[in-house]
Amino acid sequence: SLASRGEAQIAASAEWEPGAEPWSLLQPLDGRDRSGLLSPLFKVLCDGQGGVPRLQPDSRALRYMKRLYKAYATKEGIPKSNRSHLYNTVRLFTPHVQHDKQASVDQVTGTVRSVDLLFNLDRVTAVEHLLKSVLLYTFNTSVSFPSAANCVCHLVLKEPASSSSKTPPRAPHSVTFKSQFELKKKYKWVEVDVTALLQPLVASDKRSVHVSVTLTCVKDQRQHPSAQVSALNLARPSLLLYLNDTSAQARHRWYSLRYKGSPSQAPDQGGLPACPIGEEAAKGVRSSRHRHRR
């Protein structure tokens, strides 16, 4: 496989310099410290520290990922076998904001919010292949919004001017997504699938994604004609990447699926259902509790 050939490449071509740290032999050739658990473990063995200093993540993002973890793994940390997805890595990136136009509220056009975001995807390694990517919106449950709203998400992908003179600068992508959000008290997150937009970018090894996002939500006239539209308290969307890590250390779910006799499902890029994690997680929790009682 690609990963094992890469490792062989490292072993064959690594120069052993006196004084070099042993774990540096595992470094990918481009020198960026990328690979998951192994290099921090080696670092602990070499200098006994618990890893490099880290930036603290956004608390909402951390809460979302903890909820995802509970949905995907048991209390002992073992991946739940009833999950049929093929990705073994989920990364959540919070954006650096270029500029943030405040929400404008209009009784006819609804709430409009546009924001310019920059995502740094440096942590995505060469052996992590993108299967699905979504923009994750968190809603403040205290909004006074009707239970249903029609939202249009308009994205403009801005590619950095290419450094090489060979490729001519391209006009920014402009892709429009349309999706309807139902705002219920128990939904705190909504995912907007942007796989088609980001797939070529991540596959071409670009690690900096600059995107302008405009979200317009209009109340659903049929349900609450008299409801006042108020400003949606929209947090800036985070970016969720569902990846398949092909390295030897990563768990390969298709392997266990195959040996359980069920045909493995080849992911088609658009086919993975995007559904609110809250609902899915809640369902998972409910059924297991039921089983327990029986």
Partner 1 sequence: GQETVSSGLKKPLVPASLNLSEYFKQFLFPQNECELHDFRLSFSQLKWDNWIVAPHRYSPRYCKGDCPRAVGHRYGSPVHTMVQNIIYEKQLDSSVPRPSCVPAKYSPLSVLTIEPDGSIAYKEYEDMIATRCTCR
Closest to 84 measured CA to CA, from 284, 251, 253, 260: 253
Q: Does 57 bind partner 1 (CB under 8 A)?
A: yes
Q: Does 266 bind partner 1 (CB under 8 A)?
A: no
Q: Which one-letter amino acid corresponds to residue 261?
A: G
**Cβ at position 138, least distance to partner 1 in Å:** 14
Q: Does 31 bind partner 1 (CB under 8 A)?
A: no
Q: Does 173 bind partner 1 (CB under 8 A)?
A: no
Q: Does 76 bind partner 1 (CB under 8 A)?
A: yes
Structure tokens at 198: 């980001």
Structure tokens at 205: 């090894």
Q: Which residues, 6 or more positions from 209, have their beta carbon under 8 angstroms from its beta carbon?
A: 118, 119, 121, 157, 198, 201, 239
For 133, counting Cβ atoms within 10 Å of its Cβ (0-12 exposed, 13-18 middle, 19+ buried), the class is: buried
Q: Which of residues 103-142 bind partner 1 (CB under 8 A)?
A: 120, 122-123
Q: Does 62 bind partner 1 (CB under 8 A)?
A: yes
By beta-carbon proximity to partner 1, the closer residue of 88 and 133 is 88
Q: What is the largest CA-CA distance in the chain?
A: 76
At 35, is the secondary structure helix, strand, or coil?
Answer: coil
By beta-carbon proximity to partner 1, the closer residue of 52 and 171 is 52
By beta-carbon proximity to partner 1, the closer residue of 49 and 109 is 49
133 and 199 Cβ atoms separated by less than 8 Å:
yes
Q: Does 97 bind partner 1 (CB under 8 A)?
A: no
Q: Which listed residue (19, 31, 77, 169) binds partner 1 by CB under 8 A? A: 77
Where do contacts with partner 1 occur on this chain (CB under 8 A)?
36-37, 40, 44, 50-58, 61-62, 65-66, 68-69, 72-73, 75-79, 88-94, 120, 122-123, 245, 248-253
